[in-house]
């Protein structure tokens, strides 16, 4: 009788020179840049909570949830078997597990319930979540950001606020009054208008007691399974903000019809949709004709999450690249020890830590803005500047980290394709590059105090590094006649963002990181990551290592 060796014992099947899975790690404790940035911005009391969340997100089980939620996108269920209109969205069970983990951990509520540094803790959670499965971040972020908008109408804030801060995830499709917790979505843009929300054609007809019925469409409605939505519609006074629940006060389904779900490049675990209102019942939120001003409070808070989420996505990609190269050899050396690879990894780590420092500094301003006018002014201008810069840096970082894996980064079994497809989203959400650049100009024109606050922050960094001092001195050139206009707004955002990033790093990072970042971004720098030697590369990589 002929005996055959099991396939696993065949010499050609021996698996060598492959990294172990990057699982069962604490994503918070193992991130020195994030821990320092949280502590230095007043969030030390949240370290224990964030460590627990980082441990939960770093489990192998959670990584499997993320893979399954991404691979099994939501499905629209328009009708039941009898032909009754449903307009419901069905999700894979792992999506609900991720939502429950985030909301029960305080993702949407900690900013409003913590005694101090709540927005900082929230931003750190956004950062951590973005490196696991960012799709569930969308509904949780909008739920968090709805609170300041709801406060324009105290009765609505009293009704919906407790549901938001309950820290409970209740996925049942029933009236919100019967649930243990609620989520809030947003439906703003239309086919004909896009970012020009004043071009919205949806009409609102008053029916008494600040109640209206809406007729119209929305081309992007994020997370249509939420319990209520902030939306814009035209009244006789102009664009007005409304809250549209999925259920009417009499317990019937609201005329909120989901026409289709978007087939998106990334963010695939999250449902995005096109909807129509057919006399949908709504409550006015804020003054008639002041809808843009009302909704901007929500938009500004979601922009904080775009910044933190992009920093977190960059960290996840860099972490994967360092882990892979630390465990894979070529030409008799670990990849991480090859000088060319070390320059790339160090450069990615610098970009990531700068984004992390800036995101947490802005979160600190959100925490202080109520009691400190200077911090409020800083927040107003620094937020769009960082939104413009950090979100645009994410795709390049993720791509380069993917390339560090070689062909292994290009296959769907690993996390890199998911991170890469997700990477452009935050630069588009809540205002793409040109929209944000123009918003920066509006802030400068309408709120001169915000420039003074940002300049003060940047000036505090003077004296540490000659190259940075030279860059800071040149910033005043932007305010010479004719220098700053719509065509130069993007360049202005970039120069300010790098200065703000360096200033943020000075408060949170060791000198070898600060100086290497300044040299890499303001010295004789290259346009491609790893194209210019990075000083102290070994120390920078070691600091960023996920071990």
Cβ distance 242 to 283 under 8 Å?
yes
DSSP 61-125: HHHHHHHHHHHS--EEEEE-TTS-EEEEEE--HHHHHHHHHHHHTTTTTHHHHSSS-HHHHHHHH
410 versus 10: the higher-pLDDT residue is 410
pTM for this model (two decimals): 0.95
Whether residue 196 has pLDDT greater than 90: no
* pLDDT at residue number 176: 97
* pLDDT at residue number 199: 81
* pLDDT at residue number 193: 73
For residue 128, which of 222, 26, 46, 36 has the smallest C-alpha distance? 26
Give the separation between CA 200 and CA 238, rounded to whole angstroms: 10
* pLDDT at residue number 15: 81
Beta strands in 270-338 (DSSP E): 272-285, 329-330, 333-334
- Cβ-based neighbours of 168, under 8 Å, separated by 6 or more: 103, 104, 180, 181
Q: Apex CA 138: angle with CA 134 and CA 140, to 5°?
A: 105
Q: Quickly state the pLDDT bin for 9 (edges 50, 70, 90).
A: low
- CA distances 424 to 269, 306, 363, 436, Å, are 16, 11, 22, 15
Whether residue 4 has pLDDT greater than 60: no
Q: Considering the chain, what percentage of its residues have pLDDT values greater than 90?
A: 89
Whether residue 391 has pLDDT greater than 80: yes
- pLDDT, tens digit, for every residue of 120-139? 999 999 999 999 999 999 99
- Cβ-based neighbours of 290, under 8 Å, separated by 6 or more: 238, 240, 241
- pLDDT, tens digit, for every residue of 79-92? 999 999 999 999 99
Whether residue 2 has pLDDT greater than 70: no
Q: Quickly state the pLDDT bin for 483 (edges 50, 70, 90).
A: very high
Whether residue 262 has pLDDT greater than 70: yes
Which structure tokens are listed for 540? Answer: 């920078």
Give the separation between CA 219 and CA 260, rounded to whole angstroms: 10
The strand pairing partners of 208, in sequence order, are 211
- pLDDT, tens digit, for every residue of 19-33? 999 999 999 999 999
* pLDDT at residue number 8: 57
Whether residue 5 has pLDDT greater than 70: no
Matching residue, tokens 């509904």: 139
DSSP 169-235: -----S-GGGSS---EEEE---TTTTT-GGG---EEEEEETTEEEEEEEEEEEE-TTSSEEEEEEEE
The mean of the pLDDT values for the chain is: 94
Give the separation between CA 24 and CA 73, rounded to whole angstroms: 25
- pLDDT, tens digit, for every residue of 324-379? 999 999 888 999 999 999 999 999 999 999 999 999 999 999 999 999 999 999 99
Whether residue 13 has pLDDT greater than 80: no
The strand pairing partners of 89, in sequence order, are 76
Whether residue 1 has pLDDT greater than 70: no
- pLDDT, tens digit, for every residue of 399-415? 999 999 999 999 998 99
Give the separation between CA 402 and CA 405, rounded to whole angstroms: 6
Q: Quickly state the pLDDT bin for 10 (edges 50, 70, 90).
A: low
- pLDDT, tens digit, for every residue of 512-541? 999 999 999 998 777 889 988 899 999 999
With 0-12 / 13-18 / 19 or more C-beta atoms within 10 angstroms meaning exposed / middle / buried, residue 203 is middle
Matching residue, tokens 């970039």: 494
* pLDDT at residue number 525: 75
Of the candidate ranges 97-111, 285-299, 362-376, the one whose mean pLDDT is the lowest: 285-299
């Amino acid at each position: 009788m002929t005996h055959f060796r099991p396939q696993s014992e065949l010499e050609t099947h021996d698996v060598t020179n492959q990294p172990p899975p990057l699982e069962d790690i604490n994503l918070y404790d193992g991130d020195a840049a994030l821990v320092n940035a949280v502590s230095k911005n007043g969030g030390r009391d949240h370290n224990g909570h964030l460590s627990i969340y980082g441990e939960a997100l770093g489990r192998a089980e959670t990584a499997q949830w993320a893979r399954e939620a991404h691979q099994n996108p939501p499905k629209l269920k328009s009708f039941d078997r009898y032909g009754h209109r449903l307009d419901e969205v069905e999700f894979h069970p792992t999506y609900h597990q991720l939502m429950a983990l985030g909301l029960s951990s305080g993702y949407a509520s900690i900013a409003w319930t913590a005694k101090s540094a709540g927005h900082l803790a929230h931003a750190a959670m956004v950062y951590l979540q973005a490196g696991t499965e960012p799709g569930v971040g969308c509904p949780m972020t909008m739920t968090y950001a709805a609170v300041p908008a709801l406060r324009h109408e105290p009765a609505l804030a009293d009704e919906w606020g407790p549901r938001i801060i309950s820290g409970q995830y209740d996925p049942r499709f029933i009236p919100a009054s019967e649930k243990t917790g609620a989520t809030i979505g947003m439906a703003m843009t239309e086919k004909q208008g896009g970012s020009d929300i004043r071009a919205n054609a949806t009409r609102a007809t008053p029916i008494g007691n600040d109640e209206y019925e809406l007729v119209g469409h929305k081309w992007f409605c994020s997370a249509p399974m939420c319990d209520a939505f902030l939306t814009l519609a035209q009244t006789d006074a102009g664009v007005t903000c409304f809250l549209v629940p999925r259920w009417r006060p009499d317990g019937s389904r609201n005329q909120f019809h989901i026409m289709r779900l978007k087939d998106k490049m990334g963010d695939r675990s999250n449902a995005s949709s096109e909807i129509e209102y057919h006399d949908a019942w709504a409550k006015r939120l804020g003054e008639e004709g002041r809808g843009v001003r009302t909704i901007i409070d929500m938009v500004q808070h979601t922009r904080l999450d775009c910044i933190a989420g992009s920093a977190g996505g960059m960290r996840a990609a860099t972490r994967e690249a360092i882990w892979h190269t630390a465990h894979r050899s070529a030409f008799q050396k670990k990849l991480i020890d090859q000088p060319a690879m070390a320059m790339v990894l160090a450069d990615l780590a610098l970009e990531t830590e700068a984004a992390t420092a800036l995101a947490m500094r802005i979160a600190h301003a959100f925490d202080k803005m109520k009691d400190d006018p200077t911090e409020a002014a800083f927040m107003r201008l620094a937020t769009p500047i960082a939104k413009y810069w950090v979100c645009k840096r994410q795709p390049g970082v993720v791509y380069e980290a993917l390339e560090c894996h070689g062909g292994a980064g290009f296959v769907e079994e690993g996390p890199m394709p998911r991170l890469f497809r997700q990477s452009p989203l935050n630069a588009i959400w809540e205002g793409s590059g040109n929209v944000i650049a123009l918003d920066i100009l509006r802030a400068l024109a309408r709120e001169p105090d915000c420039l003074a606050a940002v300049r003060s922050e940047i000036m505090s960094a003077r004296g540490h590094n000659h190259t940075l001092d030279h860059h800071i001195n040149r910033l005043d050139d932007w305010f010479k006649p004719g220098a700053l206009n719509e065509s130069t707004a993007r360049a202005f955002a970039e120069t300010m963002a790098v200065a703000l990033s360096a200033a943020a790093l000075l408060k949170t990072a060791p000198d070898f990181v600060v100086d290497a970042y300044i040299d890499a971004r303001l010295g004789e720098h290259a346009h491609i990551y790893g194209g210019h030697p990075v000083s102290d590369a070994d120390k920078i990589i070691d600091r960023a290592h996920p071990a």
